[in-house]
């Protein structure tokens, strides 16, 4: 059913109180105007600035009453014709006992006609007594066709305002823009489309990052999400061949919804591994591989001292993420947010947070791909590791010789050093047991040493730094060995 059909059904059912939460008042008013072609009622609109006016005639009749709430409700009760009354931002006045009593008597239809009262506002909170009588109507968000129409209307507006100059539009990019505008109401979608078009008169691939940023800033009302502007490409990641192939196989299904019947879209992966081996970089690379925005959830900011606030923060953050879809949600070091879930020392907050997260993971329908990273697998709750929570659990191990060679190549190029001037296989052999982060720091240290000596970086300096470094695999040998042994039979190697 459409919004109009739903609304007509509510009016025909003689619904006494309808609540509409929306930032788009004009659209709601227009919906009620359209409903009169199916079920006739006198239509009135009230605001504190204009008072009560009839608006279903060819003209809008001027207000016949002062704009105060009590006089308005008295006018509704005394009306001699059934009507629909759109009360805009009226709910703050319901804090007065007399106003609330007046409205309740109208809803109970005591000595008055069976009117329909509609409370319209951005957020409408009602007293418990009225909430029990209210029916909340939520206008649907625009679908793909409506969003495409908005983009075309803004392109036409640009052409009119620029002397007939047409917008240069890449059709594939337009389709991706429409897909990424999904989850926004018509007003916000139009605002972003207008921004992209009027910026340079072009809709091309370069607009997609700007769209993602604008949408994130619009929807991240919880403040617990962080937009990651730098999403790495898989070419920037050494090794992880198996994970790269896994993502590539699922890209079309996740992004385009191109899946045969019976094939579920990918939901997420858990990346376990030794510290410094590139789990965070891989999380960014997954978003780059899918070609969608990456948002990071900071579990530490969710926890609050008041009862129920932490769970509400998580709900708000996940709801914002779903509106950003398609996207990748990255929860870094997830064990730090959920490790205490087995205990009740925090009053059961962590247990409730875990329960809500698991429910969301199982039931979400939106295109949100979850990437969770963890270092301390033994601190993770067993419920999170159960088969089916994630599509796959990958283990990011210490890089092998081939991957270490690639790491040296990448970081030397990143610091404007020509890898051809170094013996990369020898350096990779000397760096056995080093993580990618430790190799990077060895190169940084060699650069400092070369700068102090006013000499170029060479193999000798790099070997000196490698010999002078004790990697984590040596310093924490027992813990690293235990983690690798645990993962050997329980996870899939990322490489």
Lowest mean pLDDT among 152-156, 260-264, 452-456: 260-264
Q: In what order do the strands lie in the sheet with 294-297?
A: 225-228, 294-297, 327-331, 368-374, 268-273, 392-396, 492-493
Tokens 């690379």, residue? 285
* Model pLDDT for residues 195-220, shown as the tens digit of each residue: 999 988 888 888 888 888 888 888 77
CB-based contacts of 33: which residues, under 8 Å, 6+ apart? 43, 55, 56
The answer to whether residue 484 is domain-embedded is no
pLDDT reported for residue 341:
47
Q: Which of 181, 203, 182, 202 is nearest to 192 (CA)?
A: 181
Shared domain for 384 and 408, answered yes or no, is no
CB-based contacts of 422: which residues, under 8 Å, 6+ apart? 408, 412, 458, 459, 462
Shared domain for 175 and 204, answered yes or no, is yes
Q: How far is CA 340 from CA 310, 379, 383, in A?
A: 14, 8, 13
Which tokens hold the place of 419?
A: 């890898």
pLDDT reported for residue 448:
94
Q: Which of 59, 60, 88, 61 is nearest to 72 (CA)?
A: 88
Shared domain for 213 and 238, answered yes or no, is no
Which tokens hold the place of 245?
A: 């192939």
Question: Can you give the C-alpha Rg of the chain in angstroms?
Answer: 30
CB atoms within 10 A of CB 84: 22
Shared domain for 246 and 391, answered yes or no, is yes
The answer to whether residue 494 is domain-embedded is no
CB-based contacts of 102: which residues, under 8 Å, 6+ apart? 70, 73, 74, 77
Strand partners, 117: 17, 85
- The band of 34, judged by pLDDT with boundaries at 50, 70 and 90, is very high
The answer to whether residue 488 is domain-embedded is no
- For residue 107, give the CATH number of its domain: 3.40.50.300
* Domains in the chain, number: 4
Rounded to an integer, what distance in angstroms lies between the CA atom of residue 78 and that of residue 67? 16
Shared domain for 161 and 209, answered yes or no, is yes
Of the candidates 113, 136, 159, which is a domain's last residue?
136
Shared domain for 376 and 240, answered yes or no, is yes
- The domain of 163 spans 144-218
State the alpha helices, DSSP H only, in 257-371.
279-290, 309-323, 335-338, 349-363
* Model pLDDT for residues 287-307, shown as the tens digit of each residue: 888 888 888 988 777 776 555
342 has pLDDT over 60: no
140 has pLDDT over 80: yes
The answer to whether residue 388 is domain-embedded is yes
97 has pLDDT over 70: yes
Shared domain for 255 and 201, answered yes or no, is no
Shared domain for 276 and 315, answered yes or no, is yes
First to last CA, the chain: 49
Shared domain for 12 and 68, answered yes or no, is yes
The answer to whether residue 226 is domain-embedded is no
The answer to whether residue 90 is domain-embedded is yes
- The band of 149, judged by pLDDT with boundaries at 50, 70 and 90, is very high
Q: Are 170 and 178 in contact (CB under 8 A)?
A: no
State the alpha helices, DSSP H only, in 182-300.
186-200, 207-219, 241-256, 279-290
Of the candidates 218, 250, 274, which is a domain's last residue?
218
Shared domain for 469 and 433, answered yes or no, is yes
- For residue 449, give the CATH number of its domain: 1.10.8.60
Q: Which of 276, 388, 273, 292 is nearest to 334 (CA)?
A: 273
Shared domain for 122 and 165, answered yes or no, is no
Shared domain for 190 and 302, answered yes or no, is no
pLDDT reported for residue 428:
92
């Amino acid at each position: 059913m459409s919004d109009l059909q739903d609304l007509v059904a509510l009016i025909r059912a003689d619904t006494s109180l309808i609540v509409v939460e929306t930032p788009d008042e004009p659209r709601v008013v227009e919906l009620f105007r359209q409903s009169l072609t199916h079920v006739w009622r006198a239509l009135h609109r009230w605001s504190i600035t204009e008072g009560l006016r009839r608006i279903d005639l060819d003209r809008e009749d001027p207000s016949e009453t002062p704009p105060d709430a009590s006089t308005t409700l008295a006018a509704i009760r005394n009306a001699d014709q059934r009507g629909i009354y759109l009360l805009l931002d009226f709910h703050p006045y319901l804090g007065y006992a007399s106003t609330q009593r007046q409205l309740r008597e109208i809803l109970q239809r005591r000595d008055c006609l069976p009117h329909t009262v509609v409370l319209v506002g951005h957020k409408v909170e009602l007293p418990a007594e009225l909430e029990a009588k209210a029916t909340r109507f939520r206008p649907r968000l625009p679908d793909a066709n409506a969003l495409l129409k908005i983009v075309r209307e803004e392109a036409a507006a640009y052409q009119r305002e620029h002397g007939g100059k047409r917008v240069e539009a890449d059709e594939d990019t337009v389709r991706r823009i429409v897909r990424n505008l999904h989850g926004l109401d018509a007003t916000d979608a139009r605002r972003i489309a207008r921004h992209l078009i009027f910026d340079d008169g072009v809709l091309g691939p370069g607009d997609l990052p700007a769209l993602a940023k604008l949408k994130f800033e619009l929807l991240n009302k919880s403040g617990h999400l962080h937009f990651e502007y730098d999403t790495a490409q898989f070419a920037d990641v050494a090794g992880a061949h198996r994970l790269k192939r896994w993502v590539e196989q699922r890209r079309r299904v996740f992004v385009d919804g191109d899946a045969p019947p019976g094939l579920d879209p990918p939901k997420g992966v858990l990346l376990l591994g030794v510290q410094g081996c590139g789990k965070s970089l891989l999380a960014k690379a997954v978003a780059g591989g899918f070609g969608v925005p990456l948002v990071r959830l900071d579990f530490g900011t969710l926890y609050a001292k008041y009862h129920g606030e932490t769970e509400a923060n998580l709900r708000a953050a996940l709801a914002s993420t779903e509106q950003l879809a398609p996207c990748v949600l990255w929860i870094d070091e997830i064990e730090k947010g959920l490790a205490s879930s087995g205990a009740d020392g925090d009053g059961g907050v962590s247990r409730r947070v875990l329960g809500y997260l698991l429910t969301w993971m199982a039931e979400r329908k939106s295109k949100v791909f979850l990437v969770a990273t963890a270092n301390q697998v033994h601190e993770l709750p067993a419920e999170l590791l159960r088969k089916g929570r994630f599509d796959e659990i990958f283990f990011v191990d210490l890089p092998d010789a081939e991957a270490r060679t690639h790491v040296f190549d990448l970081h030397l190029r990143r610091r404007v050093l020509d890898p051809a001037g170094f013996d990369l296989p020898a350096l990779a052999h000397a760096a056995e047991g080093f993580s990618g982060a430790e190799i990077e720091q060895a190169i940084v240290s060699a650069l400092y040493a070369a700068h102090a000596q006013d000499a170029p970086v060479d193999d000798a300096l790099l070997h000196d730094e490698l010999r002078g470094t004790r990697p984590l695999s040596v310093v924490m040998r027992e813990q690293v060995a235990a983690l690798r042994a645990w993962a050997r039979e329980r996870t899939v190697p990322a490489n």
